[in-house]
Amino acid sequence: MKVILVVGARPNFMKIAPLCRAIRKRNQSIHDNRYIIHNILVHTGQHYDYEMSKIFFEDLELPEPDIYLGVGSGTHAEQTGRIMIELEKMLLKEKPDLLVVVGDVNSTLAGALTAVKLHIPVAHVEAGLRSFDRTMPEEINRLLTDAISDYLFTPSPDANENLKKEGIEDKKIFLVGNIMIDSLLSNMEKVKKSGTLKKFGLKKEQSIDDRQQTTDYALLTLHRPTNVDDKDAFGRIINALIKISQHVPIIFPVHPRTKKQMQVFGFQHYFVDLKKDTSSIINNGLYLTDPLSYSEFLNLMAHAKMILTDSGGIQEETTVLDIPCLTLRENTEWPITITQGTNVLVGNDTQKIENEAFKVLNGKGKKGNCSELWDGKASDRIIEVLLEQLVFKG
């Protein structure tokens, strides 16, 4: 069985890496070549900083992409169109039995559209998630990809319900769990050995209980246009961060685009840039650092007092790690992280952000449990379904 795996942006890498490992493991256990899965990894180049992508590939022990399309930046339409043009050429040449897309980025939709037009079956990993906010490009990508996919692999029961309400047949829907957590759990041992805490001066001394021997700090990520392209919205978040950082250091691995917006709006002077000031984080305040590798970020996240973020993936990871998460959005495609996990929606409302942050600092942060299928084995279940549907039934 020839399978094309499509990735394009960094969130995809954490979702495709476990699938690559599961395919290798399955192939090693099969002695009949008729049932070998031959996978081709295609990087569209949607996140066009190839060196940064390379760091993530190495960190996740992903093989080098077999094909790199190098589509680069552009508007949503330009980027989606270029991916489809280049991908179509490759699919016509390779003639795969299946194309797999993950997540909700432009490469996800472009891959699915291109394949279905060529009558190639499509599998969507992380299907059925809905924020019910169509102003988000990711929501449009999710809706359209699910509508045309043949195999929809869902991470949680609410995702199944969303698909059924949209008229997707039950036989196409497979509840397999959260593949992002496969990456999280498989990398935790390596993460524990990372020197990130020591690098930032946060590690007090060696101890069996790392958390007790680590300086309390919060971790921030911020990149969504609704938060960083609007000066008033960005300003409201900054005001809350200033107040919170008087009580705990906040570390901010800043996205280049967000850093640019900070300079446009004149907010950079609120932060200490650790690239320019090499001193350790020994005082309360707001600290900027360059983007981190996956392992470095996980190490910081695993020991943080709380996370403030507008990312989707971090809501999942903090729920599994049982770390309070304040999501700087009005909605989420991961409602399970609110109903069962550690997540609280605070938007860009200064007072809400402050109120929830001080609950955490006072020991009253939200606790929660992850879904029983968030166990690190979603990728194995996906491979079993594909073999059953495409090989043994075929």
The set of catalytic residues is 223
Q: Are 106 and 82 in contact (CB under 8 A)?
A: no
- Asked if residues 344 and 338 have their Cβ atoms less than 8 Å apart, the reply is yes
Strand blocks (E) in the chain: 2-7, 38-43, 67-68, 98-102, 122-125, 151-154, 173-175, 218-220, 250-253, 272-273, 286-289, 306-309, 325-327, 343-345
Contact call for residues 8 and 46 (beta carbons, < 8 A): yes
Position 284, amino acid: N
Query: 46 with 79: CB under 8 angstroms?
Result: yes
**CA-CA distance, 346 to 307, in Å (whole number)?**
12
Question: Which residues in 239-262 are b (16+ Cβ under 10 Å) and which e?
Answer: bbbeebbeebbbbbbbeeebbebb
Residues 258 and 222: their CA atoms lie apart, in Å, by 7
What is the distance between the alpha carbons of residues 367 and 200, in angstroms, rounded to a whole number?
A: 27
Which residue, among 299, 238, 240, 247, has the nearest Cα to 269 in the 3D structure? 238
Q: How far apart are CA 169 and CA 165, in angstroms?
A: 10
The end-to-end CA distance of the chain, in Å, is 11
Cα separation, 143 vs 5, in Å, equals 20
